[in-house]
Structure 1
């Protein structure tokens, strides 16, 4: 794990600073956390967390992102994260770390946070400047107060209070959420989970008590997919838990290629008042 990332971490048990020694992170109180051979470290402190995305979901997401279907999102996230003087970028619910790697500039380091071990194995390899830790934002991030210049949250859980604590004064959180029309064509055809129309209100309610919204940008792009890419779209997100892969495959087999869909999301930027 990159030494500059470790300086921003704190012990999930006592909140003391962590230092590295012999593939282990330790605090002065003696709490110790092994760095896995795949490069990530579990900083849940033994607290029960859900397992997050499965290996199959992570593989599907990586295939879709590598094919460039969500480049409009990664480009917009990178542009919004281009904050002067930024040193540490934290991505919550980082998945494979692809958005974080894209947002790193020449003088930045990144911290990928996720609960999925399958995702963290990939995030730890996404860029040499990225450190990967297992943690749940709802239980608290193992990051020192005011350590982050930028937080990325792309289709991931959010905690306004934790974002405000971790961000430096004037730091920003870049948040991407699906709009009601996101992948509407596939939602109708394949029984995917739809987007709650009240999602913007719920987002504001979670962040506005702690951060100030400074931008809100709609992103929309057409997607042209083969059957494998359409299946990956179903398999990479929450719809993977609510659909039958065999039924999805059978439906896709009846659909002519290319399969078209609409990517429709909102990117909002929230600033810490400090």
Structure 2
């Protein structure tokens, strides 16, 4: 799928356009990037070390948890929202998933918008390997959302940002006039009562303020709360803990011991805030 998205990419070194050839991806100035056998390309430069990238274990846990359908209501809500903000007259709309992980949400959106093309990137090559195979209309690459993105100016009809860091200035640059940014963040009661019972990292009270600060120049035009109950097995609980930020900060053996004490089935709340933003330059 790289052949279908390369026109929307730019060289991370010189910002020249990129083309795909037999020897990989290359710009007109000779900067070259190899294509992995899984079909993705890494557009990280030498100074961009993915020190906080999700590990293989975290990515595997996320893939298994999402494949079980636990977050399917969120995927449907996201797909419905994207379908609403893209005008039906738009030809070949482009959806950029910034911090796409395994591409689960990208694929849901592309299923709902059959004319769209997806650009999925993440700093974790382990996640991008899966994202490259998530859908026939997605192209995947490794990139750091904190750096200038290897995406051309004004190409995205929609930028998606689901549980990922935000780079407001770069999101504005890659969005077409009239485009939209859709941000999904966990709400305060997300994964209750597991957060309390297992001592997991919780959503801090300043989360909404920090989102707004990271998106200066954008205005929130719509918001919906997506909240539903889940029935999780002990294995599901281990997966949802292992795929999130607590996997970095909590002792794995201790968490495993705690989870083993749970009953076979455990209720938990999934709670998210789904916000639509437009850039101020596009707001009358």
Task: Please report how far the alpha carbon of residue 23 of structure 1 lies from its aligned counterpart in structure 2 after TM superposition.
Answer: 4.5
Q: Give yes or no for contact 2:48–2:144 (8 Å, CA) kept in 1.
A: no
Task: Please report how far the alpha carbon of residue 124 of structure 1 lies from its aligned counterpart in structure 2 after TM superposition.
Answer: 0.6
1:154 aligns with 2:155: no
TM-score by length of 2: 0.93
| Segments of 4+ moved more than 3 angstroms | none
Correspondence for 2:148 among 130, 140, 152 = 140
Distance 2:167 2:194 in 1: 30
Correspondence for 1:99 among 86, 92, 105 = 105
Distance 2:14 2:205 in 1: 40
The C-alpha deviation readout for 1:170-221, integer Å capped at 9, x for no partner, is 11111000111111211111121111111011111111x2222111111110
Question: Which consecutive residues of structure 1, in runs of 5 or more, have no partner in the other structure?
Answer: none
Question: 2:261 matched to which residue of 1?
Answer: 254
Question: 2:197 matched to which residue of 1?
Answer: 189
Distance 1:197 1:50 in 2: 28
1:228 aligns with 2:235: yes
1:49 alignment partner, SS class: coil
Q: Give yes or no for contact 1:227–1:252 (8 Å, CA) kept in 2.
A: yes
Distance 1:23 1:31 in 2: 12
Q: Which moved more, 1:79-88 or 1:186-195?
A: 79-88
5 Å-filtered alignment, 1:117-136, equals 117-136=125-144
1:4 aligns with 2:4: yes
Question: 1:178 matched to which residue of 2?
Answer: 186
Distance 1:112 1:49 in 2: 19
1:266 aligns with 2:265: no
Figure out how many residues of one structure are paired with residues of the other and give that number. Answer: 273
The C-alpha deviation readout for 1:90-128, integer Å capped at 9, x for no partner, is 111111001001101221111111010110110011112
TM-score by length of 1: 0.96
Question: 1:33 matched to which residue of 2?
Answer: 33
The C-alpha deviation readout for 1:66-87, integer Å capped at 9, x for no partner, is 1111011111111111112261
Question: 1:206 matched to which residue of 2?
Answer: 214
The C-alpha deviation readout for 1:203-254, integer Å capped at 9, x for no partner, is 11111x2222111111110010000000001000100011122211211111
Distance 2:226 2:77 in 1: 8
Question: Which consecutive residues of structure 2, in runs of 5 or more, have no partner in the other structure?
Answer: none
Task: Please report how far the alpha carbon of residue 49 of structure 1 lies from its aligned counterpart in structure 2 after TM superposition.
Answer: 2.8
Q: Give yes or no for contact 2:2–2:140 (8 Å, CA) kept in 1.
A: no
Q: CA RMSD in A?
A: 1.2
Distance 1:175 1:19 in 2: 30
1:62 aligns with 2:63: yes
